[in-house]
Structure 1
């Protein structure tokens, strides 16, 4: 495993942990994890490796905010 891949994996884990805590009670950990992984995939080759941590956090957080807002706006079924 290269240093870049190991560093990227560590950043994914750190972002996932931080966002799981931030969205606790709003979105399940599985949704947070999947969103972070999807954002990582979308950023692959689009940014310099040094920016991955910050850009990953920003993109995943934006997507999770959108999901959280949609969840709150969904009508309650009785």
Structure 2
């Protein structure tokens, strides 16, 4: 595992925890995890690595909100 991979894993974990807490009463943690992981996969290699944290949070939060609207 490279340093970059470890850093990316840390960012993904932070976003998962943050959004899981924010939406704990609305969506199961496993659903938030799936959304964050899918958003990370979509962003990986498409943006600068140093922007991953912010962009991942924004995209995943948008997708969580969209999922809640479609319930």
TM over 0.5: yes
The RMSD of aligned alpha carbons is: 0.5
Aligned equivalent of 2:35: 35
Structure 2: distance between partners of 1:61 and 1:68: 11
Structure 2: distance between partners of 1:8 and 1:37: 11
Structure 1: distance between partners of 2:34 and 2:24: 15
Given the two structures, how large is their TM-score scaled by the length of structure 2?
0.97
Aligned equivalent of 1:2: 2
The answer as to 2:62 corresponding to 1:53 is no
Gapped regions of structure 2 (runs ≥ 5): none
Given the two structures, how large is their TM-score scaled by the length of structure 1?
0.89
Aligned equivalent of 1:75: none
Aligned equivalent of 1:76: none
For residues 10-43 of structure 1, the C-alpha deviation after alignment (integer angstroms, 9 at most, x for no partner) is 0000000000001111110000000000000000
Aligned equivalent of 1:74: none
